[in-house]
Structure 1
């Protein structure tokens, strides 16, 4: 099991870590309208999966905004933000910030995404701050699990990986 920190406290990550060069595992999460979404719903798109502990925090808010703003000009790309927030909270966050086109998905129900990608923080039942970039065939071309959960990811590396597909 991989270990990171959150506010300098050790955190254990559950699930199998996704690695570059492998095919991304499927997942089942909830959209804001409570419909089930899977990786197949984004078939044929370049994907930047933006994983945050909670949209209601400063770093998660900034991370989600930055990835969506900077990836918006990348042809055939989608930014998918996944957290363990309730779908209702995600919908409220999007509405409060005027972000109608942001894809937010909830892993709250059974942590299927977090377990499949190895980013469930066991002690907090939240997802670890991380980024996964997948090509149009769901091959993993970039991964980052941020070692300290309150730090920002490497935006430039993730966006460069998305642009290079």
Structure 2
């Protein structure tokens, strides 16, 4: 599958999961240096956002947006994954006051390769959103065509609303 990076076509490493697929097995690292496996994300509806680099404008905007939205759901978790180091992610979260989402590092590219969202020529993850149900089945997928564009938040949140309880504001 191809996307563009500043208009230049780039090939994803593999084929990202489609609706109905189970999440593949991968291992990430949390802010405390703990390993987080696919199985650790099950049990709640999960929005997984993969981003290329937390220290860029679009990735920062996207992560802040999902951090704001996370408060509105009782039975969903928001996970943002980049291949930044744990230290870079912790520094960014501290500077931005982000606490409602789970930032996970894929520095080893386990998720990137397993889910086919790694851009090998670019050296980072593609911008994607996956929503998985409590048992790990993909119920929504959005792969942003141009890496430097924001995702369609409205579509992603509408899909999340179908499978998770939203608290009335």
- Does structure 2 conserve the Cα–Cα contact (< 8 Å) formed by 1:16 and 1:115? no
TM-score, length basis structure 2:
0.92
How large is the RMSD of aligned CA atoms in angstroms? 1.1
**How far did residue 38 of structure 1 move?**
1.2
> In the aligned structure 2, how far is the partner of 1:33 from the partner of 1:71?
21
1:139 matched residue in structure 2: 137
Q: Following superposition, which runs of at least 4 residues in structure 1 exceed 6 angstroms of deviation?
A: none
- Does structure 2 conserve the Cα–Cα contact (< 8 Å) formed by 1:14 and 1:121? yes
Q: Give the paired residue count.
A: 163
> In the aligned structure 2, how far is the partner of 1:122 from the partner of 1:43?
28
- Once the two structures are superposed, residues 67-102 of structure 1 have per-residue CA deviations (whole angstroms, 9 ceiling, x without a partner) of 221232112110000001011000000000112333
SS of 2:12's equivalent? Answer: strand
> In the aligned structure 2, how far is the partner of 1:76 from the partner of 1:120?
29
> In the aligned structure 2, how far is the partner of 1:71 from the partner of 1:101?
6
> In the aligned structure 2, how far is the partner of 1:157 from the partner of 1:72?
18
- Does structure 2 conserve the Cα–Cα contact (< 8 Å) formed by 1:43 and 1:136? yes
- Does structure 1 conserve the Cα–Cα contact (< 8 Å) formed by 2:71 and 2:100? no
Kindly report which structure 2 residues correspond to 1:16-165, keeping only aligned pairs within 5 A, or say none: 16-109=15-108, 111-165=109-163
TM-score, length basis structure 1:
0.94
**How far did residue 8 of structure 1 move?**
1.0
